[in-house]
Structure 1
Amino acid sequence: MYPRRERTQKKKTSRPPIGRGFRLMRAWARLLLVACAALLLAAGCGAPSQVSARSQDDRIDIAYTGWPEDAAIAGLTQALLEDLGYRVELHRVSGQRRAIDGVASGRYDVFHDVWVPVHEELLSRAGEGRDNPLDGRLDEVDLLNSWLVGVTRSGLAAPSYMEINRVGEIEGSGAERALVLAPGASALGPPPRRALSRWGLEVEEYGSAAAMLEEVDRLYRRREPFVFLAWAPHWMNREYEFSYLEDPEYALGSLTLPAEIRIITRRGMEERQPLAYALIDTIVLTQSQVEDVQLAIRRAGSPEAGARRWLAANQDLRSAWLRNAGMQAAGS
């Protein structure tokens, strides 16, 4: 298991001594800030941060890929940060590499969709030769906890009406098509073409999950035999009845590798924006909750609108996250 948060040793820089009075003043200011936010929350105010964020740098730039789990957590984070008075901008980027590089360069403040260990190579500049491949980026970003309870699930799936449970049963099932995502269109590894061809399947690669699932929906409604790439968390697990096919010989390789979905923030965010950083580090969701948010986003048409609808129906959780973030920021 990976630790909750990993960082490299920060370099010490010389600076003039800070007086004891100044340090006390800064500590009291931080406590007062959090106390005001807590009072507003207790009063049921919709925007407690009219006080809380204005004493800090109040702009937050969030990179997201458009993948449903990423859109869900990015939308929730945007809505909650705006409730704390921050000005938040979502930036849709094409793939994890651009998002990670954007945070490392300081263009973006946070990215929520780093699948560990799948994306270790993207986090490492030097790649091989390091004891910990994450070290290559940890001098530029902070790697936070996983916001998902547990780990992801992924693999090849078949509709339940096909009544198969293992990849070895694909042959003879009548399935001739395997619907997968093209390399770069997925947070997962590349599709194992050799194994899929061995089972007599014609591999069809799609440039987006939306395009693939449109064909999945069409074939599913016609009850045709086929297999497809599935993963969780994702709303497809609610919409369709299917089985993740067991792969006892690991013919699918890294496609079935479970992962933690971790967060990266730009280095220095914890010091400059402690309340925002604490909130980002506080939000944790179960698979079921993630998929609920995803479905709300599908109905609303945008990450923020869907997230706000979900938060309106889950006020206790919203209040707990804001309260815990305030307490964490006060103690940092």
Structure 2
Amino acid sequence: MKKFSLGLMIVLLLAFVAGCASDGGEKETTANQKITFGVTPWTSTVPPTKIASLIIQDMGYDVEEISADATNVYIGLSRGDIDVFMDSWLPAHENLLEKYADQVEDTAISYDDVETGLVVPTYMEDINSVNDLKGKEDLFSNEVYGIESGANVTGIINELLESYELDLKQVNSSEGGMLAQARRLMENEDPVSFFGWRPHTMFNQYDLKVLADEQNFFETAAVHVITNNELKENAPDVHQFLSNWHISLDEVEEMIVKIEDENADPEAVAREWIDNNQDKVNEMIGK
């Protein structure tokens, strides 16, 4: 009887230890699970990505950022290499969303009513629409400036130039390169046209106007959160948080100004937003 009791106690003890190990293992798996963000080379991508990243880290996950242009971010989403993209512009990215519709999910609208399109400085009083560029192309040295050639908007601008029959060539570079060239011309109040969008410090730094687009190549945009289809199963709490994600355009633009113009640390700016908006954060994570 004593041998039986001793044996039973050993079995129960081993079961208890195994159970504890199992619980600890599950927690460790969650803690070590990695959520990967796609990050495009645009200033608008940084604040939402940093805020979401910090919140997800506070939820117990590791986080990684992968830098790429929008096309390659979508490819990464479709392959499962990237979990989240916080800065998808629709309708500009509709073709990418449709192409990978079986692998990605349009999870939330971050903010909407965003102006985007070709811009000129306000000192060009006679240029107020894309049609006004017709016959005046030589004023611009027959060039308009755009962002990286891999961006979806590059194709849209080329289609616009062709459809309006404008004798203009798009010159592509990085966002910073485009703005540096535009800045040089605007300092002398020379004619210049380039791709502009909000949220961005360009509208804080310079007096700009978005050209009216009678053919609607550029509609009012909305910025969406895109996730791969595996995230809902692999990290349901993260998926729920991102489904509830929202932020205002003005808030994003204010943070861009702090990061770009005041050289503030992006994570410090993001953490400040989280601290000042804890009720909104709790709502988004479902507390």
TM-score by length of 2: 0.76
Amino acid at match of 1:144: T
Q: Pick from 55, 58, 75: which aligns with 2:33?
A: 58
Match of 1:153 among 108, 111, 115: 115
Structure-2 separation of matches of 1:67 and 1:142: 22
- Tell me the SS of whatever aligns to 1:158: strand
1:312 paired with 2:280, answer no
The question of 1:326 aligning with 2:285 is answered: yes
Gaps of 5+ in 2: 1-26
Per-residue CA shift, 1:276-331, capped at 9, x if unaligned? 223323332222211122223325769xx3143243156232x1243113326xxx
Please tell me whether the aligned partners of residues 161 and 168 of structure 2 are also in contact (alpha carbons under 8 angstroms). Answer: no
Q: Is 1:62–1:88's contact at 8 Å kept on the other side of the alignment?
A: yes
Q: In structure 2, do the counterparts of structure 1 residues 141 and 313 end up closer, same or farther at CA, with 3 Å as the change threshold? A: closer
2:221 to 256, 259, 265: 259
* Residue 282 (structure 1) aligns with: 244
Match status 1:190 vs 2:150? no
**Distance change in 2, residues 1:210/1:196 (3 Å):** farther
1:69-80 superposed matches below 5 A: 69-80=44-55
Distance in structure 1 (CA, Å) of the matches to 2:261 and 2:188: 24
Find the counterpart in structure 1 of residue 193 from structure 2: 227
Number of residue equivalences? 255
- Structure 1: runs of 5 or more not aligned: 1-51, 126-136
Secondary structure in structure 2 of the residue aligned to 1:257: coil
Structure 1 CA distance for aligned equivalents of residues 132 and 71 of structure 2: 36
The CA deviation at 1:174 is 8.1
Q: Tell whether the 8 Å contact from 1:104 to 1:140 is kept in structure 2 after alignment.
A: yes
Residue 93 (structure 2) pairs with residue 119 (structure 1): yes
Q: Give the match for residue 103 of structure 1.
A: 77
Structure 1 range deviating more: 170-179 or 77-86: 170-179
Q: Does 1:163 align with 2:125?
A: yes
Mapped pair 1:181 → 2:146: yes
- Distance in 2 between the 1:116 and 1:279 partners? 21
3-state secondary structure, aligned to 1:263: strand
Determine whether 1:91 maps to 2:66: yes
Query: 2: CA distance between counterparts of 1:288 and 1:98?
Result: 28
Counterpart secondary structure, 2:116: strand
- Residue by residue over 1:97-116, the C-alpha shift from the partner in whole angstroms, topping out at 9 and shown as x without a partner, is 21112112111111123223
| One-letter amino acid matched to 2:282 | R
Secondary structure of 2:259's aligned partner: helix
**Alpha carbons of structure 1 residues 260 and 59: separation in structure 2 relative to 1, 3 Å:** same
| Cα pair 1:196 1:202 within 8 Å, conserved | no
Residues 169 and 272 of structure 1, relative CA distance in 2, 3 Å threshold: closer
1:23-66 CA distance string (max 9 Å, x none)? xxxxxxxxxxxxxxxxxxxxxxxxxxxxx997566311111112
Match of 2:7 in 1: none
Cα displacement (A) at 1:72: 2.6
Q: Secondary structure at the match of 2:66?
A: strand
What is residue 292 of structure 1 aligned with on the other side?
254
- % of aligned pairs identical? 20
Distance in 2 of aligned mates of 1:54 and 1:322: 24
Q: In the alignment, residue 327 of structure 1 is paired with which amino acid?
A: G
> TM-score under structure 1 normalisation?
0.67
Greater helix fraction, Structure 1 or Structure 2: 2
The 1:267–1:194 alpha-carbon spacing in structure 2 relative to 1, beyond 3 Å, is closer
List aligned pairs for 1:32-71, cutoff 5 A: 55=30, 58-71=33-46
- How many angstroms does 1:87 deviate by? 1.1
The question of whether the paired residues in 2 share the 8 Å contact of 1:297 and 1:307 is answered with: no
Q: Measured at CA, do residues 225 and 92 of structure 1 come closer, stay the same or move farther in structure 2, by a change above 3 Å?
A: same
What whole-Å deviation, never above 9, does each CA across 1:134-186 have from its counterpart, x for those lacking one?
xxx343222212111x2332222221122232334445698324432267343
3-state secondary structure, aligned to 2:157: coil
Is contact 2:30–2:60 with CA below 8 Å preserved after alignment?
no
Distance 1:139 1:194 in 2: 32
Contact 1:181/1:205 (<8 A) preserved: yes
